[in-house]
Amino acid sequence: MKTSVNWLRNYIDIPWAPKELAARLTAAGLEVEGIEFTGQIPAGVIVAEILARSPHANSDHLSICTVNAGQGEPLQIVCGAPNCDAGQKVPLATVGTQFGDFQIKKAKIRGVESSGMLCSARELGLSDDHSGLMILPPDTPLGIPLTDIVEQDAVIDWEVTPNRPDWLSHVGIAREIAAVAQLPLRLPAPAIRSLPNSSVHDCAKVSVLDSDLCPRYIARVFKNIKVGPSPDWMVKHLEAVGLRAVNNVVDITNYVMLEFGQPLHAFDLTTLAGSEIVVRRAKQGEEITTLDGTKLKLSTDNLLIADRDKGVALAGIMGGENSMITDATTTVLLEAAAFDRSNVRVSSRTLGIATDSSYRFERGVSPETTAAASARAATLLCELCGADQVDGIIDCYGKPWQCPEITLRVQRCNALLGLSLDATAIASCLERRGLSILMQDAETITARAPAWRFDLHAEHDLIEEVAQISGLDAIPEAPVAARISGTMKDDRFLPLEEIRGEFQALGLDEIINYSLWSLPQCLQGTACSEEEIIKVDNPISIDTAFLRPTLLPGLMQVVAHNIAHNEHNLRLFELGRVFRKNNGRHSEGLQAAIAITGKRHPERFGSDLAATVDFYDLKGILASWLEARRLTDCSWQSAEAPACKPGACATLTSKGKTIATFGEAATVLTKGIRLRAPLFLALIDVDALLKLKAAPPVYTPIAQFPATSRDISFVAPAGLTHQTIVATIRDLQLPLVDRIDLFDIFSDEKVLGKDRCSLSYSVTFRHQERTLTDDEVNALQTTIRSALAEKLGVELR
């Protein structure tokens, strides 16, 4: 919010320079984004008069001007401006004037001596106009510094928080200055000229059909309007904060909006069918063309200001092209209204229109401010446009605003702020912020919030007011008090951090996505129906209108993004919340998702580099994870799932509960993604997994004696599994067997025969208390070889 310091001085005598003003209000909670000084003209720029103008002999666009600076002999100055005509009074930068790093000096320009520079408004930093010299009024005295006649100003850009819409106005900032400086506030008094023997009800009619979206609507009618340019003081104030002057009627509505924070709109009454205003929801598909020429198609979510036949304005956002003020306008209906902030926000986002008006209504405009702003605009219309107000106003105010009453405890206030204020000092702070004290004693204070404050509801809000008025810098520093927290079992965040650490230890990279997606993204790859997807009541856009039922939308988006950027070796995981609606009730849970694709060993060479990940790589990741968590009561089963290809999907279950579903990604998910290798996905029900009971940890001391190993090779049927072989060896319950490793598989039909393969195992033996002898190890190996031959029928080699 930009405010002009000169404009603010209309309401309060500011006791500080702009920079100190910014510092003091920052200490009270109103931060500053920047300060811009205008009218800061360098010393040495004076008023001069052009006595004569002649063409430059060596240039077709330069002129030689004889200038009277009011100080001695006339000066000769070379000028390139098209309007350096004799008789004009203009700014002159005399020799020695400093413009930043540039100093005006006597110089020869194409052979002609020049003793100074005639200036445009842009060269002086007064405006962007560089079309010619800045022309001064004819009665301006010669030789005086330009700073004597050009008003200097400072424009402060305030960082307004969403809970303080009252700061989006000059009066609101002036109230803040008055509170901090303890000075009186001057608000302009209404001075409205009314037409005798007239009634507004004979000229116009207003109907508010949706009062929940428009709690107050005030209409005034003015006749004898003379549309024309605004006075200089208003133009300067508007331009100082970045608004362009249009005409006096439109400028008044903009001026009052910036003055009181209340957006207004002026309709040409003769263009309103039936001289009627109807505040209603738009019909589905109804169209309106706004002031900027944009044609919009509306829905029933949009509030419309209409006449008897058509829409004439989009409530709280922008007026319609069909009722705009023109030079021929003589009768005006002035609208001042309060609109529901949520409805304005939704309409602004869905229609893609953001204006100064919608910015204020989205944050909240008090219905009480509406009346004050309407009266102020009426005064200015009478004063600047020669208008006469038709007697009376139409005020549709079905449910008047009720200011909340809040009780504050003195002891609680001091305990939170670390101060020692008594009830009188606290009450003074509240009164300076505009609150009315209803009851006060040594222990409690009851106050009523002012009508322009929407953010005061509870005791802590009043304590914040006391802190800001006392000065945030006055709050003492306090050491942090350490408190004994709960046990590790009570920490709900720790199990999630453990899962993240375990996934990262397995070589996966974490991703984080938003929870809001479009409906097609939420449904893709799931068995959910549209009724099970939760829709947000007030979405920012249609692409973020639904809560995700799984982590798939974000996971697939990240995969597609990486593949598009030529990153094909991916090991990703995400841990987050998912949402679903069951029988009308909303539920949420924790889910983990894994995606892997690309090379199995991108760090290797040769044939190893060509191998890509497959189904069993993902199964191995899950199995390693379960082993790390000591979850042994789990089983693997083939299955079918919408997110996986048929025949390439499995589930991990425990006691009949599905813990994870994994497999190769279905074609519907990978369509449009230029994968170089298959993509494998896993979705894990973290809530169900955390309920599983882990096996107790088993301590195994570090061995102090060396191990020894023996290799066993044999030819086996191709259908014999590694798990069966390992189980057979384990069933022997040999106490010294430490590890069993498969290190070679060979199959060749010509060498070994059909459906046969050669397997080679390394069995490691170790004793915890002594070194094993060769005889002991050889005996154990013989036992294992015999068991494999007898129980599995393998051919030992």
Annotated binding site for Mg(2+): 455, 461, 464-465
SS3 101: coil
CA distances from 536 to 195, 203, 507, 586 (A): 51, 44, 36, 12
CA nearest neighbour of 1 among 177, 227, 155, 109: 155
SS3 669: helix
CA-CA distance, 404 to 492, in Å (whole number)?
A: 38
Q: Which helix (H) or strand (E) holds 762?
A: strand 756-765
Instruction: Answer whether 381's CB lies under 8 Å from 193's CB.
Output: no
Beta strands in 254-338 (DSSP E): 264-268, 276-281, 287-289, 295-297, 303-306, 311-314, 318-319, 332-338
CA nearest neighbour of 247 among 217, 226, 270: 226
Strands 153-159 and 205-208: unpaired
Structure tokens at 313: 């304005």
What is the Cα 487 distance to its own chain's centre? 37
CA-CA distance, 299 to 557, in Å (whole number)?
A: 31
Q: 749-778 as b/e, with b when 16 or more CB fall inside 10 Å?
A: eeebeeebbbbebebebbbeeeebeeeebe
CA distances from 725 to 170, 302, 720, 743 (A): 85, 72, 8, 14
User: End-to-end distance of the chain based on CA atoms, in angstroms?
Assistant: 87
Strands 75-79 and 216-223: unpaired
Q: Give the DSSP per-residue string, 118-131.
A: E--TTTTTS-S--S
CA distances from 274 to 310, 328, 476, 561, 575 (A): 11, 20, 64, 57, 61
CA nearest neighbour of 763 among 725, 794, 797: 725
DSSP annotation of 273 = G
CA distances from 723 to 257, 384, 403, 622, 727 (A): 79, 95, 76, 17, 6
CA-CA distance, 749 to 763, in Å (whole number)?
A: 27
Q: Which residues pair with 535 in a beta bridge?
A: 546
- DSSP H helices, 160-219, are 170-181
Q: Which residues pair with 596 in a beta bridge?
A: 571, 680
CA-CA distance, 711 to 763, in Å (whole number)?
A: 6
Instruction: Please enumerate, by residue number, every residue annotated as part of a binding site.
Output: 455, 461, 464-465
CA distances from 262 to 292, 331, 339 (A): 21, 22, 11
* Contacts (Cβ under 8 Å, ≥6 apart) of 721: none
SS3 154: strand
Structure tokens at 569: 């070796």
CA-CA distance, 91 to 67, in Å (whole number)?
A: 11
3-state secondary structure 499-530: HHHHHHHCCCEECCCCCEECHHHHHCCCCCCH
CA nearest neighbour of 76 among 123, 104, 112, 119: 112
The residue type at 128: D
Structure tokens at 523: 């449904």
Q: Which helix (H) or strand (E) holds 592?
A: strand 585-597
